[in-house]
Structures are given as structure tokens and as C-alpha cells.
Amino acid sequence: MSKKAVAVLALVAMCFFFVLSFPATSPAKTKSITFGDFSWDSVQIHNRIAGYVLEKAYGYRVSYSFGESLPLLLGMARGDVDVSMEIWSDNIEAWGKYVESGECLDLGPTYPDAGQGWYVPTYVIKGDPERGIEPMAPDLKSIEDLSKYWELFKDPENPDKGRFYNGPTGWVVSSINIKKLQSYGLDKHYQSFEPGSDAALSTAILSAYRKGEPIFFYYWEPTPILGLFDMTKIEEPPYDIKLWNEKNGYRCDFPQSKVHVGASAKLLQKDPFVISFLANYEATIEQTNEALAYMWQNELQPKDAAIWFLKKFPEQWEQWFPISGDPHIDKLKEALDKEVVKE
């Protein structure tokens, strides 16, 4: 039995305890749920997948509260926000503190661990004949090659160095990337630039890509940018747990990132059975990339991608219901049969 299955069983047992321990409340107080809607696309899709299930199968009123990471996590700790389907726990230091304090619950992986690293558009290395782009750094392959190409990525605010687009301000990974630049000796050639948000980072990448300009940046998956556009990851020494610390400057490739479902601990009192459903939720990176690509290519909204996901992968979501033969499965199928998706 997997670790997640064991955790789900433990949560189900806890749910029954809470059902017996707390008096029943009116539907008006229990039939609503608020998702923390961060600015990146994959969390918005997974929020709406789970939201659609809760709305159509369980009869919930669902809302989405948009914001940046730290304010939304604070809202979750207070109970103003109930759940978010993607918590990048390695990149947000505050999350661990809220879990340790008992204010928030870690409900297990949204999908298997995700990759991250340093990238350039592939046309920087290989060119793009269809767009009339010649190779700019034909032998750029690894960390060791970056020092001689700093002028290609020249920082407009500091022209004596290249610009490295780091993770957003406030993310743990932005500090890690600065240490990595120093440990590789690249801080002599590159200035770390921290965008104000992940949306600002993706906008900078897309703007450069559409213009066919060079850009050197940190990014992660699953994302539509890495799913739809040809990017090359800069090679680093293989991940080594002995090197992955501040003392050694994180001088190796990134470990795989944990992406988990997070919930307010107050949701356990509000509706423990929903906690069981959320703990059972799990997709794959490939499915997520497909949904992201579908949304971007068809210029649709996250809800459209969520419905597409549910119609395309029934074998995946049927596993989310804690009890085999759950009548809520039929309710969801009936709702999906009425939906029309763009092909």
C-alpha cells in the first residue's frame, strides 16, 4: 500500500471521529468551499478540476480567491481559504511553519515530484530556420559554458553582467539560485533578477521567446511554457544530497520538487469528508501538461481545461472517491455528459 493510501485511510478515520464529535450544521454553513487561486496556470486548472467535482458531485458552492503565495497561505492558516491544489512546499518556507503549527494540513501529492532548473530557449543554441534565427551560442550545454556567454544575456540595468531571471521574490528557490550562482562562480558574470511574481517571470520569458531574443531563466514543470515551447535545460552535476545545502552552495542539479494539496485545518471541522476526497486526489505531470497545452492552444480558461481533463481521464478521477461504488461518481458523469469541449 502506498504512503498516500495509508495517509488517506488515516484521514478517513479522523473524519469519522470529527463527524461523531461535532454537532451537525446547516447546509448554508457546510456547503461552500474557497480555493486559493495562485497566479500560475496549473494550480488554477487543478483547483477547478476539484471545484467542479465538489460542485457537481457533492453540491458545493465553490469560489476562488486569487492572490500571491504568502497572503493566500495566511488566509488558509486563518481559515478564510479552505484549500489549494498545488502547494510547492520546497519553495515556500511559510508553508512548513503552518503545517507544523497545525493551522494547515498537507494532504499529499497533487502529482509526482516535478522538475525544475535553469533554461534557455533552444533556438539560442540551435537556431530556428523557420523563424530566421541563427544559433547564438552553438556550444552552450552546461554550467561551465555560461561564463563566456554572459554578454548574450546582457542585463539592461547592469550592462557589465548578464541577467539571470530568478524565481519570484519571496520564493525559497530565489535564495538557492543566488547561492548556486556564487558556488559556480557565475556571480562574476551574471546579475540575479527577481521578478515580483511568477506571472511577471513567465511574461518576460514569453516576450523574449516571441521576439526570438536570448533569455536565461529559472523555471519548473508542469507549465505550458515548457510544454509548448522548445526550451533546453542547462546541464548541472547530478543531484547529490551531500551537495544540496547552503554550506556547499547547492552545487548540483535541483532535487525533484514536492507539489502537494494543502488545506486549512479548519476544513477538517467544517467538512471532514471533503478532506478525504482531497487527500485522495492525484494526477500525473503528463496529464497536467496536456491540460495546460489544451488550454493555451485553444485560448481557453482553466475551467474549460478542467472539464476537458475530467472527460479525458475518467480512470484517473474515479480513484479519488474514497468509497468504491460511490453514487457521487454517477452524479459527476451525468454532469460531464452535458458538457461540450472544444476539440
Pair 117, 238: CB distance under 8 Å = no
Cell of 319: 480513484
Identify the H or E element spanning 36: strand 32-37
pTM (2 decimals)? 0.71
Residue ranges, comma separated, of all CATH 3.40.190.100 domains in the chain are 116-233
Pair 54, 263: CB distance under 8 Å = no
Q: Three-state SS for 40? A: coil
Cell of 179: 547561492
Residue ranges, comma separated, of all CATH 3.40.190.10 domains in the chain are 3-113+258-337
| Confidence (pLDDT) at 27 | 38
**Strand ranges (E), 246-324:** 259-264
Spelled out in words, what is the top-level CATH class assigned to the domain 116-233? alpha beta
In degrees and rounded to multiples of 5, residue 64 shows phi and psi of: -130, 125
pLDDT in tens, the chain (343 residues): 344 544 444 454 454 444 434 343 333 344 899 999 998 899 999 999 999 999 999 999 999 999 988 899 999 999 999 999 999 887 777 899 999 999 999 999 999 878 899 999 999 999 999 999 999 999 999 999 999 999 999 999 999 999 999 999 888 899 999 999 999 999 999 999 999 988 899 999 999 999 999 999 999 888 888 878 999 999 999 999 999 999 999 999 999 888 999 999 999 988 888 898 999 999 999 899 889 989 988 999 999 999 999 999 999 999 998 777 889 999 999 999 999 988 7
Q: Three-state SS for 31? A: coil
| Confidence (pLDDT) at 324 | 74
Closest by Cα among 208, 229, 236 to 122:
229
Pick the CATH number of 3-113+258-337 from 2.30.30.100, 3.40.50.300, 3.30.230.70, 3.40.190.10: 3.40.190.10
